[in-house]
Amino acid sequence: MSKKLTIGMFGFGVVGQGLYDIIKTKNLNLEIKKFVIKNADKKRSLPAELFTTDAEAILGDSEINTVVELIDDADAAYALTVRALKSGKNVVSANKKMIATHLEELAAIQQEYGTSLLYEGAVCGSIPIIRNLEEYYDNELLHAVTGIFNGSSNFILSKVFNENQPYADALKEAQDLGFAETDPTLDVGGFDPKYKLTIVAAHAYGINVNPDDVFNIGIDKLGAQDIRFAKEKNFKIKLIPTAREIDQNKVVLYVIPKFISSENILFNVENENNGVLVKAAFADEQFFYGKGAGGHPTGSAVLSDITALRYDYRYEYKKHLNTNALSYSTDHEIKVYLRYEDDSLVEKLGFTKIIERYYAPDFKYVIGTINLKKITDLKSEINKTGNFIAEIA
């Protein structure tokens, strides 16, 4: 039988409002008792007594057994999540940075205090990818998880490739529509998909990796030449996080733009949509698709997590306990396209193999294989105006 949940919610935006509306009309055995908000002066659509700025009203209320955390600040979110879990409350969060950065401690706290932290909403909006990796795919059988994890960059790339918009205009449109922040680096620099990737890697392979140790480079240096090059070869460029098992029980993780051909199902994932491709032994490819950005998709994942807590659902982190555990590696060769300005960069990068090289007055590129370690070490040099790097099959 389901357990009655009494909920305290931190944050009240689109998601909070939507959750409140749906919980009110459906017979879900849930009640939202209190919202803790930052700004007391803002006009709210719900009765004033539901709101407070005092976190104690939730954290100190023993009747509240479930905390839903929907605030931006990763440090504040971490502090209140830890406090809630330690005081016997279960927590639902959609804060990818907080989860990715503290996953190991958070798993240990859940273990010690017997509480549950769920965070499906932190990765790819409404797509239930964490649950599927946690429950359905054995780590021994998973070859790779890739996909489109960031709605904002994908929206920009769709505008660039399908509507011939210059990158800067597409970014501005994404910002106007609320898909991208004023400082868009988190999205277009590939940090947001990297946080999601490390969470995915934990549930796919049972490894805890600090996001700071994972290579990410974004789409913000994408130039007209790269777009022309891609179009001539019928490619699109997508920003792709990859978790892949390589030899000897090693797993590599990285986020990089990638040339995608039309046979790849990700080719047709456009705008703010997300898609996750799971390659498992024997299964060919599984594809999960849904809306990635925006309040409602995230809200639906948060709601599914809340309803699961009525049955005391928790992530078991079974794969972390596996004796033949996998380990994280950065020693892996990938094939890349690099547009560059300064010839010395190509020398420094020490390509293990150069396959194509092209020179023209306004456009120089090289295609070759290179070690992930090398581009990690030289990231700041690669990531300068005049250069653009992308994986190519």
Lookup: tokens for 144: 């790779």
Lookup: tokens for 312: 């005391």
Q: Are 55 and 41 in contact (CB under 8 A)?
A: no
Helix 224-232 to helix 151-162 angle, to the nearest 10 degrees? 70
Binding residue for a copy of itself, selected from 108, 168, 224, 283, defined by CB under 8 A: 283
According to DSSP, the β-strands at 333-339 and 363-371 are: antiparallel
The residue ranges of DSSP E strands in 159-309, in sequence order, are 215-216, 236-246, 250-260, 273-280, 284-291
Residue 265 found at the interface with a copy of itself (CB under 8 A) = yes
Binding residue for a copy of itself, selected from 17, 20, 22, 314, defined by CB under 8 A: 22
Binding residue for a copy of itself, selected from 114, 136, 348, 350, defined by CB under 8 A: 136
Binding residue for a copy of itself, selected from 16, 128, 189, 211, defined by CB under 8 A: 128
Q: Convert residues 84-123 into a mask of x (bound to a copy of itself by CB under 8 A) and - (unbound).
A: ----------------------------------------
Residue 203 found at the interface with a copy of itself (CB under 8 A) = no
Residue 342 found at the interface with a copy of itself (CB under 8 A) = no
| Exposed / middle / buried, residue 361 (Cβ in 10 Å: 0-12, 13-18, 19+) | exposed
Q: How far is CA 25 from CA 29, 64, 174, 297, in A?
A: 11, 21, 33, 19
Binding residue for a copy of itself, selected from 291, 320, 339, 364, defined by CB under 8 A: 291
Q: Tell me the catalytic residues.
A: 196
Shortest Å distance, C-beta 344 to a copy of itself: 46
The residue ranges of DSSP E strands in the chain, in sequence order, are 5-10, 30-36, 51-52, 66-69, 90-93, 117-118, 142-148, 215-216, 236-246, 250-260, 273-280, 284-291, 327-328, 333-339, 353-360, 363-371, 388-391
Lookup: tokens for 20: 């409140």
Residue 138 found at the interface with a copy of itself (CB under 8 A) = yes
Binding residue for a copy of itself, selected from 6, 304, 371, 376, defined by CB under 8 A: 304
Q: Which of 328, 327, 325, 368 is nearest to 349 (CA)?
A: 368
Binding residue for a copy of itself, selected from 13, 166, 223, 290, defined by CB under 8 A: 290
Shortest Å distance, C-beta 138 to a copy of itself: 4
Between 27 and 45, name the residue whose CB sits nearer to a copy of itself. Answer: 27
Residue 168 found at the interface with a copy of itself (CB under 8 A) = no
CA–CA separation, 259 vs 31, rounded Å?
47
Size of the site for a copy of itself (CB under 8 A): 48
CA–CA separation, 175 vs 186, rounded Å?
13
CA–CA separation, 352 vs 374, rounded Å?
11
Q: Which of residues 139-158 bind a copy of itself (CB under 8 A)?
A: 140-141
Q: Which of residues 225-264 bind a copy of itself (CB under 8 A)?
A: none
Between 106 and 326, name the residue whose CB sits nearer to a copy of itself. Answer: 326
Binding residue for a copy of itself, selected from 95, 300, 330, 387, defined by CB under 8 A: 300
Between 321 and 360, name the residue whose CB sits nearer to a copy of itself. Answer: 321
Within 13 A of 47's CA, how many CA atoms are on the CB side? 5
Applying CB under 8 A, which residues contact a copy of itself?
Answer: 1-2, 18, 22, 26-28, 126-128, 131-132, 135-138, 140-141, 265, 268, 280-291, 296-297, 299-301, 303-304, 307-308, 311, 313, 316, 318, 321-322, 324
